[in-house]
Amino acid sequence: MRWAVAGYGDVVERRVLPALRALGEEPVYLWGRDPDRAASVAARHGVRDSGSDERGLLRDEVEAVYVATPVALHVPLARAALAAGRPVLVEKPLAGGLGQGGGTAADLEGGPAAAVAYYRRLAPAVRRLRAELAGWTPARVDVRFRCAFAPGPGHPMRWRIDPAVAGGGVLADAGSHRLDLLVMLFGRPDDVRGRLTDRFPAGAERRAEVDLAWASGVRAHVVAEWGDAPPVDRFEVVGDGRALTLDPLDSGRLRLRTARGSREVMLPPAPNPHQPLIADFVAAVAAGRPPACPVADARIVDEIIAAAGRPCPTGSS
């Protein structure tokens, strides 16, 4: 397919454009909020610049659209692509805490295929963890993430600490991937309680703690933090004397522990995780099947992010 790409950031240059070319897909146009930066990136990668008007993304020769802009533009650009009959793959989160995801659900889920870039669903170790959960309802899931992130003035990622643009802070940014894995494994939670603290001046939180519960009895505790302490990225499922641990999450190392002992399996992820993501989306469009990362589940992630930012009901702990 011939693709238009909205966005010019690191994920586009290091992952999206290389993945499209590796799969034999053709990126034909690139658009961004800053026309000069967009033109520079387009020239560097041999892609045509679609100009200062985002409607240039929908030229007649374009067959699919990848949206990798700041979060506030995700839903508007995806809606425009779908209305023009183009399949669209959108970076995560869909809308975060902006409230746009639920308001445009029917538009994004109808017509051509639409998906959100929660690529960790396709990692071999995550798929193995999901298979190990078949027929087993764990008691709890512990998710911990921490890395350093404090962009100063002029930093190209400064927008990520403005919730009006990014849809939140660390929970919408890094936490959304981990919340998506919980949705993939257990579905929509029945209860969400959150605490968002240690905010940047623009309002985005540096630290988020979220407790989720499902009617099945599963409980999850998620901590996501931008901080200077040693980095952490662990996803652990525990219950009935059994534990499954991905640590670090993206390492491909899955530890399986039972009362009889423990073992490890190594299932490395793709060097470019966007390549299996885009490959699945292209196959889904061709076959008319749902993509691995559907908009319906991405909307649930948005709902969790929004709920985590609301005050707890009076009298609750």
In tens, the pLDDT along 98-139 reads 975 444 555 676 668 999 999 999 999 999 999 999 999 999
Tell the burial category of 36 from Cβ atoms under 10 Å away from its Cβ (0-12, 13-18, 19+). Answer: exposed
Q: Is the pLDDT of residue 16 over 60?
A: yes
Closest alpha carbon to 127 in 185, 198, 56: 185
Q: In sequence order, what DSSP letters do the residues of 105-116 get, joined into one string?
A: HHHHHSSS-EEE
The SS3 of residue 163 is helix
- Which of these ranges, 18-27, 30-39, 104-113, 230-239, has the smallest mean pLDDT? 104-113
* Confidence band, pLDDT 50/70/90 cuts, at residue 55: confident
pTM greater than 0.75: yes
Predicted local distance difference test score (pLDDT) of residue 28: 97
Percent of the chain with pLDDT over 70: 95
| pLDDT of 315 strictly over 60 | no
Quick: pLDDT tens for 278-304: 999 999 999 999 999 999 999 999 999
Pairwise CA distance, residues 185 & 221, whole Å: 15
Closest CA to 216 of 189, 184, 192: 189
**The pairing of beta strand 232-239 with beta strand 242-246:** antiparallel
The amino acid occupying position 298 is A
What is the residue-averaged pLDDT of the chain? 94
40/45 Cα distance (integer angstroms): 9
Burial code (b: 16+ CB inside 10 Å, e: under 16) for 203-213 equals ebbbbbbbebe
Check: CB of residue 251 under 8 Å from CB of residue 171: no
Say whether pLDDT at 314 is over 50.
no
> For the residues 146-158, what does the mean pLDDT come to?
96
Q: Look at residue 105 in the predicted model and tell me its pLDDT.
A: 53
**DSSP state letter for 95:** S
Cross-strand bridge partners of residue 199: 205
Q: Take residue 277 and report the two structure tokens written for it.
A: 């993501």
Query: Around Cβ 24, how many Cβ atoms within 10 Å?
Result: 8
Determine the 3-state secondary structure of 210 from DSSP: strand
Q: What is the pLDDT of residue 107?
A: 60
Rounded mean pLDDT, 137-153: 97
According to DSSP H, which parts of 84-231 are helical?
Answer: 100-103, 105-109, 124-132, 163-166, 170, 176-186
Mean pLDDT of 215-224: 98
Please tell me the predicted confidence (pLDDT) of residue 111. Answer: 65
Ramachandran region, residue 46 (left: φ > 0; alpha: ψ -120 to 50; beta: rest): left
pLDDT of residue 95 exceeding 60:
yes
Q: Are 299 and 41 in contact (CB under 8 A)?
A: no
Q: What is the per-residue pLDDT for 317?
A: 42
SS3 at position 71: helix
Q: Which helix (H) or strand (E) holds 196?
A: strand 191-199
| Element holding 74 (H helix, E strand) | helix 74-83
Decide if pLDDT at 267 tops 80: yes
CA 43-277-82 angle, 5° bins: 75
Quick check: 302 and 96 in contact, CB under 8 A?
A: yes
Question: Is the CB of residue 91 less than 8 Å from the CB of residue 115?
Answer: no
